[in-house]
Amino acid sequence: MTGIIAYGAYVPRTRLQRAAVHAANSWFAPGLKGLAKGERAIANWDEDAITMAVEAGRDCLNNVDRTQLASVMLASTSLPFVDRQNAGVVKEALNLPDAIATLDVTGSQRAGTSSLLSALQAVAGGSGPILHLAAEKRQALPASEAEMVQGDAASALLVGSENPIARLVGHHGVATDFVDHFRASGQAFDYGWETRWIRDEGIGKILGGAIRDALIKFGLDGSAIDRLIVPITTRGVAEGLARAAGIAPAAIVDALAATVGESGAAHATLMLAHALESAKPGERILVTSFGQGADILLFEVTEAIAGAKPLSGVSGWLARRREESNYLKYLSLRGLLALDRGMRAEQDHKVALTALYRNRKAVLGLVGGRCSKTGTVQFPKTDISVNPNDHAIRTQEDYPLAELPARILTYTADSLTYSPDPPSCYGSIEFEGGGRMMAEFADIEPDAIEVGAALRMMFRIKAVDEKRDFKRYFWKAAPAG
């Protein structure tokens, strides 16, 4: 039986207040007032589709044996690399075995659902479990409607054949080159067409038609659908689709418009991950998505749902929240406002690719060493143990640290060193069971840091090599709560 066997998600902690966006831009775009409600999730400067996918993956793989995975798929239209496999970076960060397949899927807002279907079909064809990730860091022009309605997030679904929590009942898809918006290669921003045309000729006819045809294909009435996922936050769209298909309004799943914003290729699966948190056995969930065609997937929740719990899940991440009303700060962290960064920002962050490859487990996977003789844990792993009483030579085995809780030993909030988001907070930390490192802190309030505070590690952008357009990733320590 093919289906979803585990799920997870990631929503960045910072929530940009739409009223603040409107207040800053109303002189130029007063028409956005109608959208100036609620908040949207914004990735920090050190987050992107890769780092968010990693967090969603970790959320999903809670209590899952990672060595059993056959493949990692990453769907996004905002991948940081065009030619360096993004899913490959995620695979290293999740410390998965090298004998694994990895794949980036992109090119459409449907990338999330189309790749999910491919994963389900691969499993049905005999593949081992596939970790399906979708992540989006959406880039919108200041004072645009997109800036108001979009959001950053990631989802993770572990697809497999053993004891699924939601089995795939059926699927339907159409492809048509309906260009509601587009983004050319190398361009940062979308160019879009009129909203009413998209709503009526695109969503209404193409997606609406696909839902109708899918229900016929499945032999079901709309009334058989318990939950309808429409990853479009435009007001009234989901309601119109439900009405046309005979699906009860109560089945419409919250599109997270007021809390996250529409997260592009990740949104349908993000909503699915959220719906699964409260889903009951026997419920039918219809997942739809739209983008140069439509995808329709029908799942039925099984009894196994009771045993599947992500580490945080969408609800957990939504509760981990900090309001941001500083629109200028948002613009700066987004790379949309050039501040005088000073000389300390001039550091050359060139990465020796040889050394990155040699140290990939330590750098991307946060794998340290454990002495097989004394049990001493250390980071990084070295040829000679750091144990002062026994400098044993070449006794260290790989010892993953990323999932271990840690605590603060020393800290500071540094206003001198360059950080896109000053002050730069960092300090030495100690992992439960041993092992220490100096770590930058992520998502932390300078006033709230204390020696002994509990931490969790998060995969983040460490620095950007602006000369060569390369991103340096590493792990940072964030408050455990």
**Residues in contact with another protein by the rule CB under 8 A:** 343-344, 346-349, 351-352, 355-356, 359, 362-363, 376, 378-380, 382, 386-388, 409-418, 423-424, 426-428, 430, 434, 436-440, 446, 451-452, 462-463, 472, 474
Determine how many CB atoms are found less than 10 A away from the CB of residue 342.
9
C-alpha Rg value of the chain to the nearest Å: 23
Task: Check: CB of residue 430 under 8 Å from CB of residue 411.
Answer: no
Q: Which is nearer to another protein, 218 or 459 (CB)?
A: 459
CB 479 to another protein: min, Å: 16
Q: Shortest Cβ distance from residue 232 to another protein (Å)? A: 41
To another protein, the closest distance from the beta carbon of 133 in angstroms equals 24
Q: How far is the CB of 397 from another protein (least distance, A)?
A: 16
Dist. CA 203–CA 210, nearest whole Å: 10
Shortest spacing between CB 438 and another protein, in angstroms: 5
Shortest distance (Å) from residue 95 CB to another protein:
15
412 closest CA partner among 434, 386, 444, 387: 444
What is the rounded CA–CA span in Å between residue 348 and residue 186? 24
> Which is nearer to another protein, 34 or 433 (by Cβ)?
433
What is the rounded CA–CA span in Å between residue 187 and residue 151? 19
**Cβ proximity to another protein, 31 vs 433, nearer residue:** 433
Whose CA is closest to 154, among 284, 7, 25, 34? 7
Nearest to another protein of 344, 394 (CB atom): 344
Q: Which is nearer to another protein, 189 or 418 (CB)?
A: 418
| Buried b or exposed e, range 429-454, using 16+ CB within 10 angstroms | bbbeebbbbebbbbbbeeeebeeebe
- Distance of alpha carbon 65 from the chain centroid: 21
Q: Please identify which residue in the block is written with the tokens 């349908």.
A: 268
Residue 271 token pair:
């909503």
The minimum distance between CB 386 and another protein, in angstroms, equals 4
The answer for residues whose C-beta is within 8 angstroms of residue 173's C-beta and 6 or more apart is 114, 117, 210, 293, 294, 295, 296
From the CB of 441, what's the least distance to another protein, in Å? 10
Mapped onto helix, strand or coil, the DSSP state of residue 334 is coil
Neighbours of 67 (CB within 10 A): 9
Q: Evaluate whether 430 touches 378 at the Cβ level (below 8 Å).
A: no
Q: How far is CA 100 from CA 53, 97, 195, 356, in A?
A: 17, 6, 42, 20
Taking the least distance from each CB to another protein, the nearer of 143 and 351 is 351
Closer CB to another protein, residue 187 or residue 417?
Answer: 417
Q: In what order do the strands lie in the sheet with 14-17?
A: 39-42, 14-17, 322-324
Is the CB of 414 or the CB of 421 nearer to another protein? 414
C-beta closer to another protein: residue 216 or 384: 384
| Residue 23 or 416 having the CB closest to another protein | 416
Query: Of 183 and 436, which CB lies nearer to another protein in the complex structure?
Result: 436
Please state the closest distance from residue 458 (CB atom) to another protein, in A. 15
Length of the chain: 481
Closest distance of CB 58 from another protein, Å: 20
* Extended strands (E) in 237-318: 284-290, 293-301
Distance in Å, CB of 363 to another protein, minimum: 5
Residue 224 region by backbone torsions, left for phi larger than 0, else alpha for psi between -120 and 50, else beta? alpha
